[in-house]
Amino acid sequence: VFLMHSSYTKGMVVLAGQEGVTGLVVTPFSADSIKKKMESLKLAVLDPHQKEAEKSLQDALQLIESENYETAVGILENLVKIEENAEYYYNLGYVKTAQGNYSEAIQAFRKATAIDRLFAKAYEGMGRAYQKIGKPEEAEKFMIRAADIHMSRENVEEAEMVLDEIREINPNTVNIYNSFGVLYRKKGDFKKALFNYKKAIVIHPERARIHYNIGRLYIEMKDPETAKSYFMQALKLEPDFNDAREVLDAIDLGAF
């Protein structure tokens, strides 16, 4: 049973439930949204295997929490045979890491990220596993990927924790300081952002992207003249850097 309305109050939702309504649809609606709603309900009602898989996953998570890793592995390995699911592979990777089976953990995390390319936690897990087997460059690469995903989703605190971890792996990587610059800019801490960008540029002055990022920061700091010099340097290093050229044109037109 569906209830259709342009908006709902808490009281309306409660009353609807008491009357046997199983789904709410906000109007106006599209035929496509109705179709998707019907398909999801059909799966929920008609797919007992999905319910069984969900129960198995919850059992595995409880076993992981109690550090009963062997039994958890058995459940998770059975689940991935039934369905290629990123969450199943991630948890399998987590358990394999806890057991010290780092190569197998990496395989599981890699499968998780192949299914869901924006699975930040799986990239984190893969990075930590690579660090455990003495491959810091691979570790750094995947941890940076995780931090970038967190930042793109505005998960600033999680991004900061990952970046701190990367800094412990390799304090001299240019990526870490550039990423910290992006992080602090998003947090509105321009002083720290500028400090980190300038550390990055000392290590790799030939990176046009870093000059561009500093230019963007100066734009946000309401200093377009200083920003202009960094955009010009970015273009000097990379003549086809269209983003830098567009901002320069905007500065010349007095947009900032």
- Does the predicted model carry a pTM greater than 0.85? no
Residue 13: the pLDDT is 42
Is the residue at 101 inside a domain? no
Is the residue at 213 inside a domain? no
Residue 118: the pLDDT is 94
Residue 226: the pLDDT is 95
Residue 47: the pLDDT is 60
- Positions of the chain with pLDDT lower than 50, given as ranges: 1-8, 10, 12-14, 16-17, 20-23, 25-27, 46
Domain that holds residue 9: 1-46
Is the residue at 35 inside a domain? yes
Count of structural domains within the chain? 1
Is the residue at 10 inside a domain? yes
Is the residue at 24 inside a domain? yes
Question: What whole-number distance in Å separates Cα of residue 15 and Cα of residue 212?
Answer: 56
Is the residue at 27 inside a domain? yes
Is the residue at 196 inside a domain? no
